[in-house]
Chain A
Amino acid sequence: ILNVEQSPQSLHVQEGDSTNFTCSFPSSNFYALHWYRWETAKSPEALFVMTLNGDEKKKGRISATLNTKEGYSYLYIKGSQPEDSATYLCATRTMRFGAGTRLTVKP
């Protein structure tokens, strides 16, 4: 993988559903992976910075895992709420971003 890729591009879930999406990145010369949450009309907001293989980070109902050897990270949201609706971006330390996963949570 040469670029940062995110899947799916968009996701629609019902309130209360748990969901997850993927960020794939070049595994060579890995230093750090950043996750951001970007609500419409607001600034992207940092969620996690992940550096260690096997790392798992959690913030409330949102958690993320990291596999640096195979070059992927998962973001999980447990019990999605409408306020979780946003675009979730990942980026490498060299500031290569994925195109994001746009999450819509329906009440």
Chain B
Amino acid sequence: DAMVIQNPRYQVTQFGKPVTLSCSQTLNHNVMYWYQQKSSQAPKLLFHYYDKDFNNEADTPDNFQSRRPNTSFCFLDIRSPGLGDTAMYLCATSRQAGEQFFGPGTRLTVL
């Protein structure tokens, strides 16, 4: 089945140790999104790729970077994670700006 896959599902890292989260899709959608959701809060859009064009939200910390080497893959790099970066990270895809299809998320814990 076509889907959005996120790896790993759970990640524990140490304060300041770089971490990379992975998202892949078999839907051939041209738009890919990364969201951060902290406990009991709304998912917050960090950035998205519209084809190869990178769109960063104004309040996304510089600590967060993203790469999209091809249509299928998108990575979230956190260069120096802080305790406040503990959250669920959701990847989603869409065709143009339509309905989004989500992965199951990566739950990141920073110790």
The interface of chain A, by Cβ under 8 A from chain B, is 4, 9, 34, 36, 41-46, 49, 89, 91, 93, 95-100
- How many residue pairs, one in A and one in B, have C-beta atoms under 8 Å apart? 42
Instruction: Tell me which residues across on chain A come within 8 A of B41, comparing CB atoms.
Output: 99
* Overall SS of chain A's interface: loop
Confirm or deny: B70 has a beta carbon within 8 angstroms of a beta carbon on chain A. no
Confirm or deny: B21 has a beta carbon within 8 angstroms of a beta carbon on chain A. no
CB distance from A50 to the nearest CB of B (A): 11
Assess the B42–A34 pair: CB atoms within 8 A: no
Given A43-B4, A44-B90: A97 and B42 interface contact (C-beta under 8 Å): yes
Known: A43-B4, A89-B42, A96-B42. 13 other contacts (CB 8 A): A4-B42, A9-B40, A43-B101, A43-B103, A44-B90, A49-B98, A95-B33, A95-B35, A97-B35, A98-B42, A99-B40, A99-B41, A99-B42
**How far does the alpha carbon of A51 sit from the alpha carbon of B28 in the complex, in Å?**
25
